[in-house]
Amino acid sequence: MELPRYAEVDLSTGEIKDYPISRDCFECYLGGKALAARILYDVLPPGVAPLSPENVLIINTGPLTGTGAPSSGRFNVTTKNVLTGGIASSNCGGALGARLRRAGYEGLIIRGRAASPSFIEVVDGQIRIRDASDLWGLNTEETRLRFGREYGTLVIGPAGENQVRYACAVSGERVIGRCGVGAVMGSKNLKAVVAAGKKKIPLAEPEAFREFSRRWVKLLQAHTSTGEILPRYGTANFVRKMNDAGILPTRNYQRGKFEEADRISGEYLAEKHLVRNSGCPGCPIRCERRVMLGDKEVKGPEYETLGMLGSNLENSDLEMIKAWNHQADLLGLDTISLGSILGFAMELQERGIKDFGLRFGETAGIAEVINKITYREGEYSDLADGVKALADKYGGREFAIHSKGLELAAYDPRKAVGMGLGYATANRGGCHLNGGYLVFLEALGPLFIDALTDKGKPALAVLFQNGMEAISAAGSCLFTSFTLVPDLIYKMNPGGAALKLLGKSMIGSRFLLERTGGLLPYLLPFNSLYLFPHAQAVRLATGIKMTTGKFLQLGERSFNMERVFNIREGINGTEDSLPRRLTDEAMDPARSDSKVDLSAMLPLYYKIRGWDKAGQPTTNKLRQLQIVV
């Protein structure tokens, strides 16, 4: 078994040295966000400010990254979260991950602050810190194009340089979007990380791995979700479904339905704007939209952007959304947080609290405001610090839509209460993915469970969170999880009795999940192409004795490791919360349960997790998961 190679790079001193990963650590955490959480806990002292030189930035891959497994061109960035003060992890499908491995490294641990603008170059096993003075001030596209096509790149734009707290980093045209990773890079005077090389990525059983990967590709291509819907519409396909379910955020989450949702839907985008679809390197799903902006072909908006810069602002102008999305990518801004801050500022104006010149339904001037946020001009610098900071300064905390400081994604959880539980318990803050994405069962379908009941939601949230953690640690795209719902179900009558019975049975299965979570490694001692194929792929790639049960336990270990980091940094169960708009104001006046009752779900969630009543992992749970702190 070849162990992953990591290097420490100190930008302050210029020192570069290997960081050894033991076999036990590799087998426990694999890579990606799981291994990065372990490393961050070990190397970062408690209480370090996110934008200080002492903060650590970890860029790393999973064991499937760049191997030829389908949808495995992923890499991860972990650091201390600029918006929450807890852990930050963000995942991306750009080319850097595979190129970093071909350059001879699975991960970089970056600390310190360069005296002047710099970039890190990794080529054929050699790491160098280079001068980036001529790159400083360029947008992300201009910066990327300065490097040759042989390089995988991760770059920041002016927003990162000016330490906008929700600045992103960009790899190709894919985005490390959340938690202010771009601001951390900017605080270190780090403009870019680039990698190139010719190393062959090792595989424990190469022939068996390639054959299994071929079968996995065929599964993805034949499945309705990953072979038809996502290639045709991308994530924009979610707009109509979320609007129909009352989940599409509208007017800063005042409502969950937008009357003009059809004009920003995936179907409308495909009919009127789509040039072609594209995808990340080595991905058969190809969910990216390519659209025209003037005479230039650019990346089209994802669902989150359509929701946050569309319905959330009461804007149905798809041309404007395309333009703002491209502008945000060039400047290096997270479109989820950007849309949330604009919507919150609009409601501040509506209530007569503070006027930034922003109005619901008005698009004029927003592009200029986005530039002013990026360069922190005047009072617009306040909008660069996130929704929580803006509410702390001006008021409106009850309708400042965030959890732990990170703005929520484009799903109003009052009509999907399991999603609300996920937002509240997600380690990086208001994240739909780290939260478990129960909206998949509550609104997206084709298999549906009761969206408003709290029954079963704690158990399902734990299961989904653990699964997503494990997939990310492996280096795979989360869309590969969509095939866990058999394709037969996609072809069943959507309103039929059989599907309704299946949905009810999932809620009924909560008793099993509530009582046997810790036994999963023993209850699932096998691998299957149809149930987390990632486990078998990891086994064939690394030689680790991985089963489906052990794979899910890996995800549980990852989630708990992140939780332990947050608790050390002072973020505990009291912050497993949502703003009062979502917990106290029913979405539907006729349904008092159309709000998120965390008090009904958190105690059982903690119990299933093996945490105490304060939301802290118990000694027994940490011992069971082999987490040493």
Q: Specify the CATH number for the domain of residue 71.
A: 3.60.9.10
Same domain, 453 and 588: yes
- Give CA–CA dist 125/100, Å, rounded: 9
How many C-beta atoms surround the C-beta of residue 20 within 10 A? Answer: 10
- Give CA–CA dist 17/108, Å, rounded: 10
Same domain, 185 and 225: no
- Cα-based torsion angle of the residue sequence 402, 407, 411, 417 in order, rounded to the nearest 10 degrees: -30
Same domain, 185 and 125: yes
**Domain presence at residue 203:** no
- Determine the straight-line distance between the first and last CA of the chain, rounded to whole angstroms: 27
Tokens for 550?
């052990």
Same domain, 389 and 424: no
Tokens for 436?
């478990």
**Domain presence at residue 536:** yes
Positive or negative torsion for Cα 424, 427, 430, 435: negative
Judged by DSSP in three states, 590 sits in coil
- Give CA–CA dist 588/229, Å, rounded: 30
Same domain, 138 and 240: no
Residue holding tokens 């503070």? 354
Tokens for 581?
């708009």
Contacts of 319 (CB under 8 A, 6+ apart): none
> Which residue numbers in the chain have pLDDT < 70?
509, 517-518
Among 360, 395, 430, residue at a domain's last position: 395
**Domain presence at residue 213:** no
Q: Is residue 571 within 8 Å of 388, Cβ to Cβ?
A: no
- Give CA–CA dist 366/449, Å, rounded: 39
Number of domain units in the chain: 3
Backbone phi, then psi, for 551, in 5-degree steps? Answer: -65, -45
Judged by DSSP in three states, 289 sits in strand
**Domain presence at residue 1:** no
Contacts of 295 (CB under 8 A, 6+ apart): none
| Region at 127 (left for phi over 0; alpha for psi -120 to 50; beta for the rest) | beta
Supply the pLDDT for residue 331.
99
**Domain presence at residue 406:** no
Same domain, 167 and 264: no
Distance of CA 599 to the CA centre of its chain: 26
Q: Is residue 563 within 8 Å of 427, Cβ to Cβ?
A: yes
Q: Is residue 253 within 8 Å of 312, Cβ to Cβ?
A: yes
CATH number, domain with residue 353 = 1.10.569.10
Domain that holds residue 547: 413-624
Tokens for 153?
């790149």
Alpha helices in 171-283 (DSSP H): 181-187, 206-222, 224, 230-233, 238-245, 266-272
Give, for 468, the enclosing helix (H) or strand (E).
helix 457-474
Contacts of 35 (CB under 8 A, 6+ apart): 4, 21, 25, 26, 29, 60, 107, 473
Among 362, 395, 428, residue at a domain's last position: 395
Q: What is the pTM of this model?
A: 0.97
Among 196, 213, 248, residue at a domain's last position: 196
Q: Count H helices and E strands in the chain, helices first.
A: 28, 17
Q: What pairing do the DSSP bridges indicate for beta strands 107-111 and 6-10? A: parallel
Same domain, 444 and 588: yes
HSE toward the beta carbon, residue 265, CA cutoff 13 A: 17
**Domain presence at residue 168:** yes
Give, for 328, the enclosing helix (H) or strand (E).
helix 318-331
Backbone phi, then psi, for 107, in 5-degree steps? Answer: -165, 155
Backbone phi, then psi, for 350, in 5-degree steps? Answer: -60, -35
Q: Is residue 477 within 8 Å of 71, Cβ to Cβ?
A: yes
**Domain presence at residue 401:** no
Same domain, 293 and 367: yes
Contacts of 508 (CB under 8 A, 6+ apart): 456
- Give CA–CA dist 183/51, Å, rounded: 7
HEC-encoded secondary structure of 350-414: HCCCCCCCCCCCCCCCHHHHHHHHHCCCHHHHHHHHCHHHHHHHHCCHHHCCEECCEECCCCCHH
CATH number, domain with residue 498 = 1.10.599.10
Give, for 122, the enclosing helix (H) or strand (E).
strand 118-123
- Give CA–CA dist 397/391, Å, rounded: 5
Same domain, 473 and 595: yes
Tokens for 511?
């008793």
State the DSSP code for 208.
Answer: H
Same domain, 436 and 357: no
Q: Which residue from 286, 247, 249, 243 is spatially nearest to 268, judged by alpha carbons?
A: 243
* Sheet order of strands, 118-123 included: 126-131, 118-123, 190-196, 152-155, 169-171, 174-176
**Domain presence at residue 350:** yes
Same domain, 41 and 181: yes
- Give CA–CA dist 385/389, Å, rounded: 6
Supply the pLDDT for residue 519.
72
Supply the pLDDT for residue 327.
99
- Give CA–CA dist 337/345, Å, rounded: 12
Same domain, 10 and 126: yes
Supply the pLDDT for residue 497.
82
- Give CA–CA dist 356/542, Å, rounded: 54
